[in-house]
Amino acid sequence: MRKIISSIDIGSSSIKIVVGEMIKNKLNVLAVSDTPSKGIKRGLVVDKEKFIECLKKGIAKIEETIGLSIKKTIVNVPANNVNFNITEGMTTITNIDHVIGGNDIARALQGCVYNKVKTSEELVSIMPIYFLVDEEKKLKDPKNVIGNKLLAKALIATVPKQEVYTLLGCIEKLGIEVVDITFGVIGDYYANDYQNLDNKIGAIVNIGYDLTTISIFNQGILTNMKVFNIGGHNIDNDISFIYKIPKHESKILKEKLALAHKRLAQANETEKVINTLGQEITVNQYELSQIVMSRLAEILSMVKKEINHLTKKEISYIILSGGVTESVDFNLILESVFSKNATVTHISEIGVRNNKFSSCVGMIKYFNNKMAFRNKEFSIFNIEEQEELGSYERRVNVSENSVLGKLFGYFFDN
């Protein structure tokens, strides 16, 4: 069975959708869309109709690429008011040989949640800390171990239902079933080489358009998080205020001319813009980069300070992600604030080599890892649809009139 998974990352600036296939724990991207978002503010739906319309456009792009309808997906939810609790759950191993399997693990984890989530809260994530077999064998993964009882200790993360249900309702109005929800920062963690991070303590930081999210991971478990209402839009506001130009124009000017650090900026690199008074003004790269650099330095300094508040333990890594980190020369401003103690996410998958896709890419890897841990397989498409997808991929990627197309036709149709 092909493991094809779709993920939706809902941001204030854009809605990212990725459909990918996991092959030997590697992600093969099948389709991507990046649609400007409306109706979203600070991760929350503020206008259902506008949001649904934007999401519909993004889904249409995906379906046009792969030739099939998207009926299932995973999606990120707001982490503005997240609550963490450590809980325990237990189950008895009832099969004849007493070998622990995926269903036993699932039951133990269900016990961690049963009667432990407030009626006003929605469970977003359950992260196993360890498992105890017959009260003596403490393991990270108890699959295939022989025992009579299995205890799970886990960290559960919940958010207010009202912040989730509106979002999920909008997605389901398009006929799409949400099969799992998670936080975007968990996706950011898995987008990196998470297997090398699983024995370390560190911070994952996502600087988005409206929000900056700082998360602490201890051996692969999300243990603390803080969300600030600051991000790329603040830079746009600064440029708009200083040059007296519309905000949408300031965003274009930033992306076209600005550097994240003034060190390599050139005063003779300029752009002409019309301000709100109808006057033509000339903006040079050096002055513009100073504005951008000042705000980024403020954001990064805030991040550095907050990391020290979120954990008192010594951390091994600080990794930054989000669209803002794609700013030209971002590494220079990062180094000036953190020295060499912080790095930027590097997305290696073809088709999504931009940090704005970090959460989407990581969510697929996270969900695949979650299914594997429970000994389950999953795909958004059934067998018949997978066969149809295979034939459609061949049709759209290779012209049947080309020499290569005829060669493919010979080998696959005969």
Domains of the chain are 83-162 (3.30.1490.110), 198-344 (3.30.420.40), 383-413 (no CATH)
* Helices 285-310, 232-243: inter-axial angle, 10-degree rounding: 150
User: Is the pLDDT confidence value at 411 over 90?
Assistant: no
pLDDT in tens, 273-320: 999 999 999 999 999 999 999 999 999 999 999 999 999 999 999 999
Note the helical H segments in 142-201. Answer: 161-172, 184-191
- The pLDDT of residue 406 is 42
User: pLDDT for 30-81, tens place per residue?
Assistant: 999 999 999 998 888 999 999 999 999 999 999 999 999 999 999 999 888 8
Nearest residue to 126 via CA among 112, 141, 107, 140: 112
Calculated CA dihedral for residues 53, 55, 61, 65, nearest 10 degrees: -140
**Residue 262 pLDDT exceeds 80:** yes
Q: pLDDT band for 395, please (50, 70, 90 cuts).
A: low
Confidence at 413, pLDDT banded by 50, 70, 90: very low
Q: How far apart are CA 205 and CA 224, in angstroms?
A: 12
Q: Report the pLDDT averaged over residues 13-35.
A: 94
What counts of helices (H) and strands (E) characterise the chain? 11, 18
- Structure-block tokens of residue 42: 């600070």
Contact 152, 108 (CB under 8 A): yes
Mean pLDDT of the chain: 91
Q: Is the predicted pLDDT of residue 27 greater than 70, yes or no?
A: yes
3-state secondary structure of 59: helix
Check: CB of residue 45 under 8 Å from CB of residue 166.
yes
pLDDT in tens, 126-169: 999 999 999 888 899 999 999 999 999 999 999 999 889 999 99
Q: Per-residue pLDDT tens for 210-231? A: 999 999 999 999 999 999 999 9
**Whole-model pTM?**
0.88
C-alpha 362, offset from chain centre:
6
Q: Which residues contact 317 (CB under 8 A, 6 or more apart)?
A: 197, 200, 202, 203, 343
Strands 72-76 and 177-182: parallel
What one-character-per-residue DSSP string does 343-382 give? EE----STT--SGGGHHHHHHHHHHHHHHHHTT----SS-
> Residue 393: which pLDDT band, with cuts at 50, 70 and 90?
low
